[in-house]
Structure 1
Amino acid sequence: MPAHTPSSTSSLSPYFHFDSTMKSDFKLSNLVGTVYRKGNVIFTADGTGLLTPVGNRVTYFDLINSKSFTFTYQHRKNIARIALNKQGTLLLSVDDDGRAILVNFVSRVVLHHFNFKGVVHDLQFSSDGHYFAVGVDRYVQIWKTPEFLEERQFAPFVRHRNYAGHYDDVVSVTWSNDSRFVISTSKDMTARIYSVHTEDKDASMTLTGHRDYVVRAFFDITQNIIYTLSKDGALFHWEYVTKEPESESESEDEKMDEDSDSDSDSAAPIKKAVAEPQSQWAIAEKHYLHLESVRVACATFHAASNLLVLGLTTGEFRLYELPSFNVLQQLTMGQNAVDTVAVNNSGEWLAFGSAHLGQLVVYEWQSESYILKQQGHFDSINALCYSPDGSRAVTASDDGKIKVWDLHSGFCLFTFSEHTAAVTAIEFAKKGQVLFSASQDGTVRAWDLIRFRNFRTFTAPHRVQFSCMAVDPSGEVVVAGTHDEFEIYVWSVQTGALLDSLAGHEGPISCLQFGHENSVLVSSSWDKTIRVWNIFSRSQQVEPIEVEHDVLAIAVRPDSQEVAVSTLNGNIVFYDVEDAKQTHNLDIRKDVFSGRHLDDRFELKNNARAKSFTTISYSFDGLSLIAGGNNNSICLYDIADEVLLKRFVVSENMTLEGTLTMLNSSKITDAGISIDAIDTQGEHVDLEKRIDTSLPGSTRGDPSARSVRPQVRVTSVRFSPTSSAFAAATTEGLLVYSTDTEVIFDPFDLDLDVTPQGVLESITEKNWVVALVMAFRLNEQNLLDRVVENVPLKDVKLVCTDLPSVYVNRLLEYLGEKVNRAQGSQHIEFNLTWVKATLESHGRYITLHKYECQPAIRMIQRFLARVAKDIVSVSKKSGYLSEYLLNAKNETANEDQEEAFEGFSGSDDDNEDDMEEDVDEDDEGEWEGGQPKGMSDRFTPDSDVEED
């Protein structure tokens, strides 16, 4: 390998030297492309946020501000249940094995790990937040919510009660409104009421009568009515009735009354016990859905509005009004079962999740409109690309769909479904308004991202399956290659005509990529060569660059001076494009983590599978390289030093192949295979879930029915054009890693006495930052004005630097409103000093949160545009006036000097004294304070004019 010389990096264009030290502190910021897998979805306490499990992670959707983020922690397996306490501070998630993780929802910090040692079917926090109930196997457990005790010790997961009344698995648990009782439903076709406290233990009883699984049970708002719903669509209405004691003869009653008068007071309790009526739950009404071959999959109840929401196995959901059981609405969200349903506290929004297709819907039933309607890819993601401004990402999948994602919100903006086969490659044109895609259906399509339509389709002379594609930076030419033939097809975007076919490779074309700075096309083939083409030249004769092994991926440096090649033997080789010489070589076999599969008969150290990268990408500055492949690793390399900067683990989900370091020997059967690879559920799973509805012989198109476990892999990696993030298309979805993922912490959210008096005291003590933050918290205009105007001009920059980032947008909004007020022009320079200091101190934060700060920035821009003309005109007039005054002063000085020389007589000392007297008289009479006295009086009309 050639020795590294400093000239190899100095050949980079100066345009790419803006960030010589590439940051490696990337952290997971969001999971895009997958919105729901399995489990339950829940609303936050304010009803504006939605939490959904996505594999072994949890994603939060802000439905008001159109934002989303994914928690960084991971479970060992897919999440089965999640719960959030009513105060919105603690999030509890449990996976399929019963392992729980307790998270601080505000700061997103993991507090505790725990194992319930069983399969958790339901999990609910009480209304007062002191307890949470868990349905584990056939038991109902009540645990105390973790809190700080008087000894200031954190005591997590203290079990309060354990009930074992059911004979089969518990399906659901529901709390009463006063947090005193829990009602559970089970597969044994019963519902049971349990008391949390010992003094209420007499209220415990069993509700029977259903002929199928009891899906859910609910208390109404008064807690005098219970509704139980079974899987066959039967709804029982239970009421708490009082039965009078059996009446005796009238003579005996009279005799008892007479005896009671003569008895002592000790007989009174006996009489009361005899006369006390008996109370119990009884069925008042029965309602049936009358469903044929349709079952109830999930249900929820909003007690305040008596709204019952049902999700059926046919994809239909219904809304009923109780207790009359009138149908309010009846809609469908597809042909697959609705697996979970949730309602927010106001009862306006309903959330539905379907695991079969990964659908997530938030529906406002009163206006019959969708608040959120998202669906991930049906199959694995093949390719991804960033838009030129880095705000959007586009993914392509085996399902033939192309999805455009907004990285700020995490939502899918549009879906293109014109392709009839798997989409293998996607690329943006330079301006970002046109997207190109190649598919195995034999077409290359051009998409208009302004009108969201397919405006051009390119095809070959005969039917082939395109496997790779590249687009010229100017957007005038698109090229594509196939595995069927050894030629590269070139089309004109303007006319759609086939311009040329580049021949020269002796094997199927594997990769194509254009350089960013020029129209250099680099191609690789299975013939172990790469070729550099200049498609706009007259001659297409190129010399191949020989590579030792098969090429899996190529990447061209942004300045088009270097190309990186990933080979099958586990190396990444770098070549100079002009000299065709090798400049760097990375041996990545020890950097890749490829875990064991369940059917592996060898140890991990002897595993040679996937010890190479199938996708690589340069950073925007060309100094770093990101790489991924059919393994559990994403590696970031420094090219100049040929070192690994950081390795990211794609997933810790043990349900995926290739994530385990060692297999659990206790799960190995006598046949030598793992028990996890055997279906041990059998008849314990519902019949409709065991029926395979896929077409005979199909191996793709029904992820829930496939018999093989998915393998963790990375199909595509791309750096963002801003160099502050990169994305990876993986088995788990589209993982977005960013350098700005820290949670903004506001220290003033702690216990602090925020009052107007406190603001004034802080101003007196010159604690400007504290006073400003407290004024923002109080949100009073007069206090804000007082604080801002009291800050000394020399301390403005220091105050803006120390201001927490969470208040930057608030400060910009205040400054924007202040400068646009009628009196705002009185302190133009002072206000603009604040604006300048804020932009200098928090410019990076404003850039990363431009969607939030954009309205305030526009207000400031509007003010500057309005005042700029006036300032320019005033400055011109002042310039002309100052020039006139300076010329007048010079002429007067010259005339006085001439007169002095003309009247020169007598001794030199006398003449010098006369000149000094003349100059002193001129200075005292004409100039005061560095300007003409008359002009000073003219421009200060409010001042008194003093006469000599």
Structure 2
Amino acid sequence: MKTDFHFSNLLGTVYGRGNLLFAPDGSCLLSPVGNRVSVFDLVSNKSYTLPFAHRRNISRIALNPRGNLLLSVDEDGRAILTHLPRRIALYHFSFRGALTALAFSPSGRYFAAGIGRQIEVWHTPSTPDTSGDGGLEFAPFIRHRTYTGHFDEVQSIEWSSDSRFFLSAAKDLTAKIWSLDPEEGFVPTTLAGHRQPVRNAWFSKDQETIYTISKDGALFEWKYKAKHDEDEEEQPKDERWRIAKKHFFMQNNATLTCAAFHAPSNLLVTGFSSGIFMIHELPDFNEIQTLSISNNGIDYVTINSTGEWLAFGASKLGQLLVWEWQSESFILKQQGHYDSMNSIVYSPDGQRIITCADDGKIKVWDTNSGFCIVTFTEHSSGVTACEFSKRGNVLFTASLDGSVRAWDLIRYRNFRTFTAPTRLSFSSLAIDPSGEVVCAGSLDSDNIHIWSVQTGQLLDQLAGHEGPVSSLAFAPDGGALISGSWDNTVRIWNIFSRTQTSEPLQLQANVLALAFRPDSKQIAVSTLDGQLTFWNVSDALQTGVLDGRRDVSGGRKLSDRRTAANAAGTKTFTTLRYSADGTCVLAGGNSKYICLYEVQSGMLVKKFTVSVNLALDGTQEYLNSRLMTEAGPLGLIDTQGEAEDLQDRLDHTLPGASRGDASVRRTRPEIRVPAVAFSPTGRAFCAASTEGLLLYSLDAGFAFDPFELDVDVTPAGALSALCRGDGLRALVMAFRLGEKGLIRRVFEGIPVADVPLVVGALPLVYLGRLIRLIAERAEEGPHLEFCLRWIEAVLVCHGRVLRERRGEFAAEMKLVLRVVGWIEKGIWRMGERNGYAVDVLLRQPLKEVEGAMGAIEDVADVDMGETGSESEGSEGEWMGLED
């Protein structure tokens, strides 16, 4: 099994805190999520997370006008400069202070940063495509000037269109006009008159007007003019910036939390602490829209370059919205869990991930797009477990509200609810592979409850454990049910036999988690003493033991009196999962590490660090003594009583709560991994953590790999071999070079008649790459019959190898099954609908048949497009099937 997993995406949360950014073309939205940055492509409906991670939560991000340089700064002022198209971190830099404002100049040569009361302007570092020598700079960050004059924290910075001047708004109730370089006759100007801190200040499109807006909802319009006195006909000119108009937002007790201005269209968008946003047209201050989008305050709003889309971020509930104000519709509406996730599960086809959390919500995430496609809210309390049926169209969930629910994932509804005779809080769940029986265990009872899915009736209560049931699992072949309990035993139940017998397996500590191997012959059990034990199911013999205490332990909390090596709370595994081929076990617990073990040898194959975010408790191995005060650790001292707003000074958290929303600044959540899950394809796994749902995957793309390269292996050589009719040599050379465009061109250039010959002579080392390539082209390209001929040739020529090495090629064969099933489903729908059209035409008089022949072609075209759109990434082009 391949174990080279790398971080690929972050789901489960879409917005933390900080500012949102639109790309220059307006098609992508950048959102800070904790210590990472997620990019949402609003046109192609996909999202991804940049690979770098800060040591603290990100407070500000900025993008240069070309859209290739992203500057992200965390709460400590440490910045990372990233090449956005290549997703590569270029430089690390420290501003030596927390940033409150950040903006690139329209020319792209400078960027301004607000650090406390000061404003620093820096030269933009060059990139390999802009520097003259083609290399990077030795000293990339060079300070241009430092501007002082404000008496309180700077809140926003806005540049003029010519990059000669910029505006700054601060908490000292003023806004100031600065010049980048000394200008003749120009003196830095202060705009005073607001009664509360100024949130933002902007230039108009012609730069003849300045707009300032304050926290109390006062909007001032400033003009550069002289003061006229009616009594004096002649007076000396006293030209300066003066208030021309005043406008006020009447929102009762709500305060203005954010604002954005689009100068080309004179569009002003304001967000308030009540969750209401308003759109006005300036300078007349005409109200266009007023809408409530959240029960909590809106933290940030931004407008794209065309002025059509508005992006809103609300950190209280982790909401991210993109609103098209002209059509009054949502382009994007996403919300993550605002409480800790408890359980996750992959769908059998690997295309969906289900997450359950303490907020009582169940979310379905698409692995290809990264978006949440549906949310279930019927549970009235925290959801603790979730499991799929074998077919994948029914989901079962267990909750602390005392119910087990069945969900139809085709119609997206709850069609069955199972309850116990007494009030219980269910914490574990198991589903029979046939989908006929559902079992649940509770920490309030020693019995296991069994229901019938068809009738919803309680069939039986299995008694035998002497302690609460902590974990349940059905064998993949449906032959047995295993249960783990706090009475230090694991029991194997034969619930479908005439006599429901159970065989106990004695362990040395409380059972926390267990898992079945995919072949149903072995189980893995995690206990409270940090041991992983493996048992043979058929003869109930222990086959292996792993001591994982040293591997999983890590991270010291601020309140710990012991070091990370001696802390007892992080030395156990609370979740276990087997890999798709059964050779490895993935385990996680209440620490920052995820461990991957090889079962046969008992070796630790790889250790994944979930997070390096210092804002979470338990990510540090050693504590900094400089952060210790007489009152205790500095991070535990409550400073929210000094907050500016009343709603920020109020504390609604529970005393001693350690599992909270990472976006709430008053809490310090602990790093945990409550659940892990392996993809059925074996090429990815996901882990539920405090920061969200982390996805790790193998690099499935054709990256450059210098494998058996020589001077003759070139793109020109591959194309030349293809022209000579040597398809095998051309394909092998393309695989060696690893260029995606070249591989596609060679693949589609091989004649259909030569496909069996090429596949039969292909070295086995390239077989996995070829299968993944065929599956990719079948989903994205229009040549369906061509790809099916390739699949047929692979199965005929290498069927024996695929069967003998099924563990190695399990992921590739899953892709083939998915592609073939999708093609079969599309062709069936097309034939069914066209059959109806033919029946209608046959019932018509003969005179109308000729005039209606075009209807068949139109129906066929529509059917092809609709069927193709059901698969993500498909182009909807079905060629050669109309006949």
TM beyond 0.5:
yes
Q: Name which of 277, 281, 284 aligns with 1:317.
A: 277
Structure 2 equivalent of residue 859 of structure 1: 783
Where do 1:595-610 residues align within 5 Å?
Answer: 595-610=555-570
In 1, Cα distance between equivalents of 2:27 and 2:758: 34
The TM-score normalised by the length of structure 2 is 0.82
- 1:646 and 2:606 correspond: yes
Q: For residues 809 and 415 of structure 1, do their structure 2 counterparts lie closer, same or farther at Cα, with a shift above 3 Å needed?
A: farther
Residues 679-707 of structure 1, C-alpha deviations (whole Å, 9 max, x = no match): 33543432232234679999998877796
CA positional deviation for 1:586 = 0.6
Residues 567-611 of structure 1, C-alpha deviations (whole Å, 9 max, x = no match): 111110111111211111111111123211112223333322220
Q: Residue 809 of structure 1 contacts residue 853 of structure 1 at CA under 8 Å; is this kept in 2?
A: no
- 1:381 and 2:360 correspond: no
- 1:691 and 2:637 correspond: no
Residues 175-221 of structure 1, C-alpha deviations (whole Å, 9 max, x = no match): 11111111100000111111112236715211111111111111122
Amino acid at match of 1:651: S
Unaligned segments of structure 2, at least 5 residues: 793-883
Over the residues paired in the alignment, what is the CA RMSD in angstroms?
Answer: 3.4
Where do 1:463-862 residues align within 5 Å?
Answer: 463-671=423-631, 673-680=632-639, 682-692=641-651, 708-740=667-699, 769=715, 793=727, 795-798=729-732, 800-801=734-735, 804-807=738-741, 811=745, 815=748, 829=753, 853-854=777-778, 856-861=780-785
CA positional deviation for 1:488 = 0.9
Q: Name which of 171, 191, 196 aligns with 2:180.
A: 196
Structure 1 equivalent of residue 117 of structure 2: 138
Q: Residue 173 of structure 1 contacts residue 184 of structure 1 at CA under 8 Å; is this kept in 2?
A: yes
CA positional deviation for 1:115 = 1.5
CA positional deviation for 1:655 = 1.4
Point out the structure with max Rg over C-alpha. 1
Q: Residue 124 of structure 1 contacts residue 173 of structure 1 at CA under 8 Å; is this kept in 2?
A: yes
- 1:81 and 2:60 correspond: yes
Q: Name which of 218, 233, 238 aligns with 2:217.
A: 233
Structure 1 equivalent of residue 157 of structure 2: 173
Q: For residues 441 and 282 of structure 1, do their structure 2 counterparts lie closer, same or farther at Cα, with a shift above 3 Å needed?
A: same
Amino acid at match of 1:225: T
Q: Residue 34 of structure 2 contacts residue 662 of structure 2 at CA under 8 Å; is this kept in 1?
A: no
The TM-score normalised by the length of structure 1 is 0.77
Q: For residues 657 and 292 of structure 1, do their structure 2 counterparts lie closer, same or farther at Cα, with a shift above 3 Å needed?
A: same
Q: Residue 227 of structure 1 contacts residue 238 of structure 1 at CA under 8 Å; is this kept in 2?
A: yes
Q: Residue 721 of structure 2 contacts residue 727 of structure 2 at CA under 8 Å; is this kept in 1?
A: no
User: Does the residue aligned with 2:600 lie in a helix, a strand or coil?
Assistant: coil
CA positional deviation for 1:811 = 4.1
In 2, Cα distance between equivalents of 1:318 and 1:115: 37
Q: For residues 39 and 56 of structure 1, do their structure 2 counterparts lie closer, same or farther at Cα, with a shift above 3 Å needed?
A: same
Q: Residue 211 of structure 2 contacts residue 221 of structure 2 at CA under 8 Å; is this kept in 1?
A: yes
User: Does the residue aligned with 2:695 lie in a helix, a strand or coil?
Assistant: strand
Q: For residues 702 and 658 of structure 1, do their structure 2 counterparts lie closer, same or farther at Cα, with a shift above 3 Å needed?
A: closer
In 2, Cα distance between equivalents of 1:241 and 1:851: 68
In 2, Cα distance between equivalents of 1:42 and 1:809: 36
In 1, Cα distance between equivalents of 2:721 and 2:286: 59
User: Does the residue aligned with 1:421 lie in a helix, a strand or coil?
Assistant: coil
Q: Name which of 294, 308, 312 aligns with 1:348.
A: 308
Q: For residues 811 and 226 of structure 1, do their structure 2 counterparts lie closer, same or farther at Cα, with a shift above 3 Å needed?
A: farther
In 2, Cα distance between equivalents of 1:301 and 1:849: 47
Structure 1 equivalent of residue 851 of structure 2: none
User: Does the residue aligned with 1:666 lie in a helix, a strand or coil?
Assistant: helix
Q: Residue 479 of structure 1 contacts residue 488 of structure 1 at CA under 8 Å; is this kept in 2?
A: yes
Structure 2 equivalent of residue 912 of structure 1: none
User: Does the residue aligned with 1:202 lie in a helix, a strand or coil?
Assistant: coil
Structure 1 equivalent of residue 815 of structure 2: none
Q: Identity of aligned pairs, percent?
A: 50
In 2, Cα distance between equivalents of 1:83 and 1:64: 21
CA positional deviation for 1:739 = 0.9
CA positional deviation for 1:854 = 4.5
User: Does the residue aligned with 1:543 lie in a helix, a strand or coil?
Assistant: strand
Structure 1 equivalent of residue 881 of structure 2: none
Which moves more between the two structures, 139-148 or 443-452?
Answer: 139-148
Structure 2 equivalent of residue 147 of structure 1: 126
Structure 2 equivalent of residue 402 of structure 1: 362
User: Does the residue aligned with 1:605 lie in a helix, a strand or coil?
Assistant: coil
Amino acid at match of 1:84: L
In 2, Cα distance between equivalents of 1:346 and 1:834: 51
Amino acid at match of 1:861: E
In 2, Cα distance between equivalents of 1:511 and 1:129: 57
CA positional deviation for 1:846 = 8.5
In 2, Cα distance between equivalents of 1:744 and 1:106: 16
Where do 1:335-374 residues align within 5 Å?
Answer: 335-374=295-334
Amino acid at match of 2:191: L
- 1:212 and 2:158 correspond: no
User: Does the residue aligned with 1:714 lie in a helix, a strand or coil?
Assistant: coil
Structure 2 equivalent of residue 156 of structure 1: 140
User: Does the residue aligned with 1:167 lie in a helix, a strand or coil?
Assistant: coil
Unaligned segments of structure 1, at least 5 residues: 1-21, 251-274, 748-764, 774-785, 820-826, 869-948
In 2, Cα distance between equivalents of 1:433 and 1:49: 32
Amino acid at match of 1:204: P
Q: Residue 427 of structure 2 contacts residue 441 of structure 2 at CA under 8 Å; is this kept in 1?
A: yes
In 1, Cα distance between equivalents of 2:610 and 2:658: 25
Q: Residue 72 of structure 2 contacts residue 80 of structure 2 at CA under 8 Å; is this kept in 1?
A: yes
CA positional deviation for 1:615 = 0.4
Q: Residue 380 of structure 2 contacts residue 401 of structure 2 at CA under 8 Å; is this kept in 1?
A: yes
User: Does the residue aligned with 1:652 lie in a helix, a strand or coil?
Assistant: coil
Q: Residue 173 of structure 2 contacts residue 194 of structure 2 at CA under 8 Å; is this kept in 1?
A: yes
CA positional deviation for 1:57 = 0.9
User: Does the residue aligned with 2:552 lie in a helix, a strand or coil?
Assistant: coil
Structure 1 equivalent of residue 82 of structure 2: 103
Q: For residues 831 and 130 of structure 1, do their structure 2 counterparts lie closer, same or farther at Cα, with a shift above 3 Å needed?
A: farther
Q: Residue 187 of structure 1 contacts residue 214 of structure 1 at CA under 8 Å; is this kept in 2?
A: yes
In 1, Cα distance between equivalents of 2:345 and 2:377: 17
Amino acid at match of 1:733: G
In 2, Cα distance between equivalents of 1:597 and 1:712: 9
Q: For residues 387 and 354 of structure 1, do their structure 2 counterparts lie closer, same or farther at Cα, with a shift above 3 Å needed?
A: same
CA positional deviation for 1:837 = 11
Q: Residue 377 of structure 1 contacts residue 397 of structure 1 at CA under 8 Å; is this kept in 2?
A: yes
In 2, Cα distance between equivalents of 1:115 and 1:506: 57
Structure 1 equivalent of residue 208 of structure 2: 224
In 1, Cα distance between equivalents of 2:724 and 2:267: 55
Which moves more between the two structures, 559-568 or 690-699?
Answer: 690-699
Structure 2 equivalent of residue 429 of structure 1: 389
CA positional deviation for 1:793 = 5.0
Q: Residue 660 of structure 2 contacts residue 667 of structure 2 at CA under 8 Å; is this kept in 1?
A: no
Structure 2 equivalent of residue 757 of structure 1: none
Q: For residues 378 and 518 of structure 1, do their structure 2 counterparts lie closer, same or farther at Cα, with a shift above 3 Å needed?
A: same
Q: For residues 159 and 837 of structure 1, do their structure 2 counterparts lie closer, same or farther at Cα, with a shift above 3 Å needed?
A: farther
In 2, Cα distance between equivalents of 1:839 and 1:201: 76
Structure 2 equivalent of residue 269 of structure 1: none
User: Does the residue aligned with 2:186 lie in a helix, a strand or coil?
Assistant: helix
Q: Residue 659 of structure 2 contacts residue 670 of structure 2 at CA under 8 Å; is this kept in 1?
A: no
